[in-house]
Structure 1
Amino acid sequence: MRYALYFTPPKDDPLTGLAARWLGRDAFSNDSFPATGSGDISADEQRDITAEPHRYGFHATLKAPFELAASVTERDLMAVVEDFAARTPAFTLPELVLGQLGRFFALVPGALYQPLQDFAATVVKSFEPFRAALSEADIARRKPESLSEAHRNNLLRWGYPYVMDEFRFHMTLTGQVAPERQAVVHDLLRETFAAHTGRPIAISGLAVFVEEARAAPFTVHSWLPLAGAQS
């Protein structure tokens, strides 16, 4: 069993439902949705480019998937998550936009927003005592020899390369997209998510996702509202 601390909007948020239909799976209910394709993108291509984020569910990583340390239990983890959420104020990210990171697409902030960076760093630090050390196999999967020094140091210190100063909030919408298909995919995503881009998004909760076994789908174990979040 692995756990992860993610941001995702609440279960009934319109963005959650839209993203679930695009990715083909709702991480809250584990319900699946058929790919429909649209325009120049077939259902088969949609399934192909969403295969990886389909397994993880719609989210932004805060504390990457980890096994529990031998000294703690799930009950211990959940008690601290509940306390953390209750005393951590909700806030609003000023603008969410469609972005491209390398060869994949995601919803990202319109600009670096320090309160979001600080929130993510606090999550990483606060829950580090619950994380079991990475196995040699897990480290090898990250190909540390190909990482920058900062990313490699983060992997060894925090279990994930993209934290602290290297953190970039992103809610993944695709896996790797071939260069010759990127313009088409970009245009479809821009149209599909138009109602949710160019506007603020409330960072209103903290979600605990679980992976029952390696390579199994991640599902939402619990979604905890942050302090002061509007119900």
Structure 2
Amino acid sequence: MTARLALYWAPELSDPLHDAASAWLGRDAETGADRQQPEISGLDLREAAADPRRYGFHATLKPPFRLANGYAAAADAARALAAGTAPFRLPSLYVADLDGFLALRETEPCPALQAFADSCVTELDAHRAPATTDEIRRRRPERLSAAERQHLERWGYPYVFGKWRFHLTLSRRLSGPEMALLKPQAEAYFASVAAQPRIVRELCLFTQATADAPFLIAERLPLGGGA
């Protein structure tokens, strides 16, 4: 099977960040509809945002994995995890250069967010099919630290727990001149919506039907078991 499931955080539909980021990427992961992107001076945003557009606007909690026991069983486990997690405050966000990628990041540490991501990794792992040799190879284990290689072997992904960094990707990896051009325009574009503190009330299940398909939001699971 090539279908994959991912556990992501994405802004609520009523959050202005959902609309602004969907337009920036050129696609709404809730509906799958294309969106008209803002005009960016000196750079083709359609090309620069092509990679994150396929994944949809999100922050990774548990990265995409092939299903070991089918969608229903994994969704039930995610539903139980969400029900047992209390909503929490997410710090305001800012536009960052994250290793050459443009991304929104939190302005201060958030222990509840780290704990939520850790739980997503561990609690859903029984539903993850083991990584194949090719999947491991694509992570370039020879370039990883010893801890990252251990995470890759155990959890199928190197950047979990202490190696995890909350981020909402806005571009492909940019050159220095491209970053200098795009970052201030992104800061201006996201200024009003990124700065708003918000409450994390949902765990989003994103699905990918085939290896080449875009990710879509399949379910939004309320934290704390709320409606």
- Deviation per CA, 1:73-116, whole angstroms, max 9, x where unpaired? 21111222222212211101222121111111111111222221
Letter in 2 for 1:223: R
Q: Measure, in 2, the Cα distance between the counterparts of 1:154 and 1:99.
A: 25
CA contact (8 A) 2:205 2:217 kept: yes
Q: Corresponding residue for 1:18?
A: 20
Q: Corresponding residue for 1:41?
A: 42
- Deviation per CA, 1:120-155, whole angstroms, max 9, x where unpaired? 101111101000100000001111111111111111
| Residues 4-83 of structure 1 mapped to structure 2, 5 A cutoff | 4-38=6-40, 40-42=41-43, 45-69=44-68, 72-83=69-80
Letter in 2 for 1:78: A
Q: Corresponding residue for 2:196?
A: 199
Q: Measure, in 2, the Cα distance between the counterparts of 1:27 and 1:53.
A: 11
Unmatched runs of 5 consecutive residues or more in structure 1: none
CA contact (8 A) 2:93 2:196 kept: yes
Q: Measure, in 1, the Cα distance between the counterparts of 2:212 and 2:139.
A: 16
- Structure 1: which 4+ aligned runs deviate by more than 4 Å? none
Q: Measure, in 2, the Cα distance between the counterparts of 1:172 and 1:147.
A: 21
Letter in 1 for 2:160: V
Q: Measure, in 1, the Cα distance between the counterparts of 2:48 and 2:70.
A: 36
| Residues 93-104 of structure 1 mapped to structure 2, 5 A cutoff | 93-104=90-101
Q: Corresponding residue for 1:163?
A: 160
Q: Does residue 189 of structure 2 align to residue 178 of structure 1?
A: no
Question: What is the TM-score with the length of structure 2 in the denominator?
Answer: 0.94
Displacement, 1:36? 4.1
CA contact (8 A) 1:133 1:159 kept: yes
CA contact (8 A) 1:96 1:201 kept: no
Of residues 84-93 and 185-194 in structure 1, the stretch that sits farther from structure 2 once superposed is 84-93
CA contact (8 A) 1:9 1:204 kept: no
How many residues were matched structurally? 225
Q: Does residue 113 of structure 2 align to residue 139 of structure 1?
A: no
Question: What is the TM-score with the length of structure 1 in the denominator?
Answer: 0.93
Q: Measure, in 1, the Cα distance between the counterparts of 2:177 and 2:90.
A: 32
Identical residues among aligned pairs (%): 37
Q: Does residue 215 of structure 2 align to residue 218 of structure 1?
A: yes
The secondary structure found in structure 1 opposite 2:112 is helix
